[in-house]
């Protein structure tokens, strides 16, 4: 294998080039830095790319989830079924509107929320399902949609990992899956704007959310921005033209970035597929993922170490890693305390959380760096194998 002269590989590096820098420079020179014409252009280009009815760029994916739930009219006493194998932001957005998060277990193969487990959690108080497309692999949206239609529920898709992913040939964010889809543009996401998020849905609903995203304000006349009316209790969640300039440059090369991510993912899968101590990620027939991360899982029964011990050793070998997610949300101290949750409540989620290890995956990663990572993983497997 190659990579012998490499000192180390970081978990992630953003793919930023001259086009992003030039776009930001143009905005800075224009004198208009906040939300304006460049943001409008970015939203329009996202609509085209995703085949979405309407798009609204906001300050973060978390802000997008909060606004999505507000836009659906969620309120105190309502229940929202979601996954615990996610960033805490997913669950925080439910609490922001006063609703109660209800956790369903996951599918062991995809690590996405299990429709069968969702069905077990539906009560008369349930108003919505909030699936997370884990690692950029789409959830089983047909099954979730069937449950939602049967019980009159809304679906908000947390697609923070999944910009560019498709379900049965249709991009996530287009019509026909959830009621609202929310993406994140954090630096390590499939495309980035530094910080930021995107909300997709029907135009009427997005127009309502747009008002909430900027202090609840409407402008009777675009020509007189000093005259406005606050018609709702809104929030300061708007995007900026600086972010939009980065986003436009990223969007133009997004397919190229996705293809490179896919290639790295496939290289890892090919390298690890015959090793009994490793569980490689599965891609379902209905899914075209965004390849956001490479979620390798350790078969801990075949190893004389924990996931954390393996991860620390891999870092010592010069490989940057992350974990998605440890602990799962329901085992964080706040949620144990406020929701009365405990270990053992979600056995499949907890097993995935104990065994998952995300390897470096980013578009600028060189082939010799992939070889370096693979070589170091096998070195540790040899050391830790029973």
Summarize pLDDT for 35-62 with one digit per residue, the tens: 999 999 999 999 999 999 999 999 999 9
Nearest to 64 by CA among 45, 102, 92, 36: 92
| Cα separations in angstroms, 241 against 8, 31, 172, 207 | 36, 10, 24, 19
pLDDT of residue 222: 65
Helices 254-272 and 367-384 pack at an angle, to 10 degrees, of: 30
| C-beta separation of 24 from 174 below 8 A | no
Gap between the Cα atoms of 171 and 49, Å rounded: 8
Tell me the pLDDT tens digit for each residue of 277-317: 999 999 999 999 999 999 999 999 999 999 999 999 999 99
**Rounded Cα–Cα distance for residues 182 and 189 (Å):** 13
Question: What is the rounded distance in angstroms from the CA atom of residue 108 to the CA atom of residue 70?
Answer: 32
Among 189, 236, 262, 284, the one annotated catalytic: 189
- Residue bearing tokens 């010592």: 316
Q: In the prediction, which pLDDT does 221 show?
A: 65
Looking at residue 1, its pLDDT comes to 43
C-alpha to C-alpha distance for 299 and 305, rounded to whole angstroms: 10
Answer positive or negative: Cα dihedral of 190, 191, 196, 197. negative
Mean pLDDT score, 245-274: 98
Beta bridge partners of 170: 167
Task: Report the Cα–Cα distance between both ends of the chain, in Å, rounded.
Answer: 25
**In the predicted model, what is the mean pLDDT of residues 219-226?**
69
Taking the CA of residue 385 as centre, how many other CA atoms within 13 Å lie in the half-sphere pointing to its CB?
10
Report pLDDT digits (tens) over 79-102: 999 999 999 999 999 999 999 999
What is d(CA 218, CA 229) in angstroms, rounded to the nearest whole number? 5
Q: How far apart, in whole angstroms, are the C-alpha atoms of residue 277 and residue 289?
A: 25
Give CA–CA dist 312/107, Å, rounded: 27
* pLDDT exceeds 70 at position 223: no
Residue 376 exposure: Cα atoms within 13 Å on the Cβ side: 26
> Which pLDDT belongs to residue 220?
74
Q: Which pLDDT band holds residue 2 (cuts at 50, 70, 90)? A: very low
Residue showing tokens 């940057």: 320
Alpha carbon distance 227, 183 (integer Å): 32
What pLDDT sits at residue 219?
A: 84
- Residue 175: pLDDT band (50, 70, 90) is confident
- Is 208 an active-site residue? no
pLDDT at position 3: 42
Residue 297 CA to residue 229 CA, distance in Å, equals: 53
**Mean pLDDT, the chain, as a whole number?**
96
Comparing CA positions, the residue from 374, 351, 361 lying closest to residue 295 is 361
Which domains can be identified in the chain, with CATH numbers? 18-252 (3.40.640.10), 254-384 (3.90.1150.10)
Q: Is the CA virtual torsion 174, 179, 185, 188 positive or negative?
A: negative
Entry pTM: 0.96
Distance CA 161, CA 183 (A): 7
Of 20, 61, 65, give the one whose Cα is nearest residue 254.
20
Of 364, 345, 357, residue with least CA distance to 384: 357
CA-nearest of 322, 328, 286, 288 to 307 is: 322
On the question of pLDDT at 380 being above 90, the answer is: yes
């Amino acid at each position: 294998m190659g990579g012998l002269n490499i000192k180390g590989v970081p978990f992630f590096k953003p793919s930023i080039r001259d086009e992003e820098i030039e776009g930001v420079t143009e905005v800075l020179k224009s004198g208009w830095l906040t939300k304006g014409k460049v943001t409008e252009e970015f939203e329009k280009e996202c609509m085209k790319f995703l085949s979405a009815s309407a798009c609204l760029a906001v300050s973060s994916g978390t802000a997008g989830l909060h606004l999505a739930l507000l836009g659906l009219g969620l309120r105190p006493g309502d229940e929202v079924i979601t996954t615990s194998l996610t960033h805490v932001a997913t669950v925080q957005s439910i609490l922001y509107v006063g609703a109660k998060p209800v956790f369903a277990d996951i599918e062991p193969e995809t690590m996405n929320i299990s429709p069968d487990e969702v069905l077990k959690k539906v009560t008369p108080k349930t108003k919505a399902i909030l699936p997370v497309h884990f690692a950029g692999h789409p959830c089983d949206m047909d099954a979730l949609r069937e449950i939602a239609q049967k019980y009159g529920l809304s679906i908000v898709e947390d697609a923070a990992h999944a910009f560019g992913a498709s379900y049965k040939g249709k991009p996530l964010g287009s019509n026909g899956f959830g009621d609202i889809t929310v993406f994140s543009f954090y630096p390590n996401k499939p495309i980035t704007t530094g910080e930021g998020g995107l909300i997709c849905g029907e135009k009427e609903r997005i127009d309502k959310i747009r008002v909430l995203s900027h202090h609840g304000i409407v402008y009777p006349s675009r020509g007189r921005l000093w005259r406005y009316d606050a018609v709702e209790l809104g929030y300061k969640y708007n995007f900026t033209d600086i972010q939009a300039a980065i986003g436009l440059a990223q969007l133009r090369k997004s397919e190229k970035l996705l293809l490179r991510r896919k290639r790295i993912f496939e290289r890892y899968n090919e390298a690890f597929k015959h090793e009994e101590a490793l569980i490689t990620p599965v891609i379902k027939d209905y899914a075209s993922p965004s390849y956001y991360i490479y979620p390798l899982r350790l078969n801990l029964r075949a190893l004389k170490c924990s996931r954390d011990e393996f991860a620390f050793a891999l870092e010592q070998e010069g490989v940057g890693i992350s974990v998605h997610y440890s602990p799962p949300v329901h085992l964080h101290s706040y949620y144990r305390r406020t929701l009365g949750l405990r270990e053992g409540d979600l056995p499949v989620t907890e097993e995935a959380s104990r065994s998952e290890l995300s390897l470096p995956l980013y578009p600028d990663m060189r082939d010799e760096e992939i070889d370096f990572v693979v070589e170091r993983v096998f070195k540790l497997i040899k050391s830790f194998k029973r």
